[in-house]
């Protein structure tokens, strides 16, 4: 029937159908008018698959184990129903923390909190964000008069709990966002400490871009009769992302990267490296080649990271070079190009990386530069994805290098734990070093 009327009166009926589909699609999920109004203001028309599946379940007060690729709208998949639950069960008096969202990185915490603020603008809901790398006093002040929702990284949250700046005794809903990355970063112990400070009866939501055995084991210990929600097959990549690979010697990767960006006249490129040093060096070389660039990683201050990301989003900076940790939570709409300057030694990270492009139905391109010592990484990625990544060779950049005797080995998902661990030492100096390493992680 709709097609028949659409052909008769295209101008008027098209507009009517667009509005009706928009309003009914979100309304059919059970969202209240205040949230529908906020969603409309953000420019969203129809819910994504993860939102369609997760929102009704969360509103039913079910525990949820959800898997969705980065960029599929999973953040709104839990923020919208949580805000509705808090609004509908609100009590008079002081505001205790009733919803806690844990994230692995500062950038992701800031992004999630922005979503909370945007969607709660027509509700009497207060929220705050807590993470390390910045002065804690403003965060403590924001907690003083009570908030309904706290978005936090585990380390800083525990610090403020130790200072009695907040209590988790009234938390009704716990969300673990990017749970796979939190495990990678060694936050499992902190997560268990935080959970021990909450009521046993609460709603738990675990969102992850990948479903590993470790994630499912974590879920078994936290979730009660969870509903499994998957918007895409496990460990799959976005359909709109075109994946390419080039065989290039390590020594020629910088020159080849400059060629790709210059020849294509690319205006916005996100490049991944495995190390902070490599991110700095590559960014410096790009700047010398006349390509505006900035690097973000764990050693950068929060102010420097925010400035770099802001410049990248505005177009003042063409290239953002990042490590995997720093890039988590980057929300860059319509990002056209992602380059794996170095392949990740954990296959799941490849999914996270290229998920930065091809978001929300837009097309994108993900390019991987593969040297001879990274061929094993390619095999791991192909096994995870269940598809081949055919590598091309570009004239003038034909690979000539032979395998290195000390080539990096394929690693497992707990690589950070092994990489950061120190050999046992009987003297006090070794103990102090371990303590300092733990404190650095806590401050994230």
Q: What pLDDT band is residue 242 in, cutting at 50, 70 and 90?
A: confident
Q: Where exactly are the structural domains of the chain?
A: 31-230, 241-392, 417-444
- 228 bridge partner residues: 65
Same fold, 31-230 and 241-392: yes
Residues 6+ apart with CB under 8 A from 126: 95, 146, 147, 148, 149
Assess contact for 282 and 295: CB atoms under 8 A.
Answer: yes
Q: Tell whether domain 31-230 is in CATH 3.40.50.300.
A: yes
- Among 9-18, 77-86, 427-436, name the most confident range: 77-86
pLDDT in the model for residue 402: 67
pLDDT in the model for residue 46: 87
Q: What pLDDT band is residue 17 in, cutting at 50, 70 and 90?
A: very low
What is the Cα–Cα distance from 125 to 81, expressed in whole angstroms? 13
Q: How much is the pTM?
A: 0.67
Assess contact for 104 and 185: CB atoms under 8 A.
Answer: yes
Q: What pLDDT band is residue 331 in, cutting at 50, 70 and 90?
A: low
Give residue-wise pLDDT tens across range 190-222: 999 999 999 999 999 998 877 777 888 888 889
- Fold of the domain spanning 241-392: Rossmann fold (3.40.50)
pLDDT in the model for residue 48: 86
């Amino acid at each position: 029937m709709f097609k028949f009327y659409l052909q008769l009166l295209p101008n008027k009926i098209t507009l009517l159908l667009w509005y009706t589909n928009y309003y009914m699609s979100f309304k059919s999920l059970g969202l209240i008018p205040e949230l529908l109004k906020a969603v409309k203001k953000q420019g969203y028309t129809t819910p994504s698959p993860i939102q369609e599946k997760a929102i009704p379940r969360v509103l039913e007060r079910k525990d949820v184990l959800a898997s969705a690729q980065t960029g599929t709208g999973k953040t709104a998949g839990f923020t919208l129903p949580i805000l509705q639950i808090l609004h509908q069960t609100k009590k008079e008096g002081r505001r205790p923390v009733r919803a806690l969202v844990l994230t692995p990185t500062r950038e992701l915490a800031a992004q999630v909190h922005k979503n909370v603020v945007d969607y709660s603008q027509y509700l009497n809901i207060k929220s705050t964000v807590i993470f390390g790398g910045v002065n804690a006093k403003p965060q403590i002040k924001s907690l003083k008069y009570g908030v309904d929702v706290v978005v936090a990284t585990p380390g800083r949250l525990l610090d403020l709990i130790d200072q009695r700046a907040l209590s988790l005794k009234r938390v009704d809903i716990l969300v673990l966002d990017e749970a796979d990355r939190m495990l990678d970063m060694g936050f499992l112990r902190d997560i268990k400490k935080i959970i021990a400070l909450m009521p046993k009866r609460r709603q738990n939501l675990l969102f992850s871009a990948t479903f590993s055995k470790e994630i499912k084991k974590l879920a078994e210990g936290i979730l009660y009769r969870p509903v499994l929600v998957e918007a895409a097959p496990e460990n799959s990549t976005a359909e709109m992302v075109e994946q390419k690979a080039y065989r290039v010697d390590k020594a020629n990767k910088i020159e080849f990267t400059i060629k790709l960006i210059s020849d294509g006249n690319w205006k916005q490129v996100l490049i991944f490296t495995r190390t902070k040093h490599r991110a700095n060096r590559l960014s410096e070389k790009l700047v010398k080649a006349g390509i505006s660039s900035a690097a973000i990683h764990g050693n950068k201050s929060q102010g420097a990271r925010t400035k770099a990301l802001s410049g990248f989003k505005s177009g003042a900076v063409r290239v953002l070079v990042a490590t995997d940790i720093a890039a988590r939570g980057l929300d860059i709409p319509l990002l056209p190009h992602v380059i794996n300057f170095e392949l990740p030694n954990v296959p799941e990270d490849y999914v996270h990386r290229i998920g930065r492009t091809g978001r929300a139905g837009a097309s994108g391109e993900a390019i991987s530069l593969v040297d001879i010592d990274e061929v094993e990484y390619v095999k791991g990625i192909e096994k995870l994805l269940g598809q081949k990544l055919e590598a091309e060779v570009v004239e003038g950049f034909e690979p000539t290098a032979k395998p290195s005797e000390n080539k990096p080995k394929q690693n497992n998902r707990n690589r950070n734990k092994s990489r950061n661990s120190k050999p046992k030492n009987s003297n006090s100096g070794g103990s102090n070093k371990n303590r300092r390493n733990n404190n650095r992680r806590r401050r994230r």
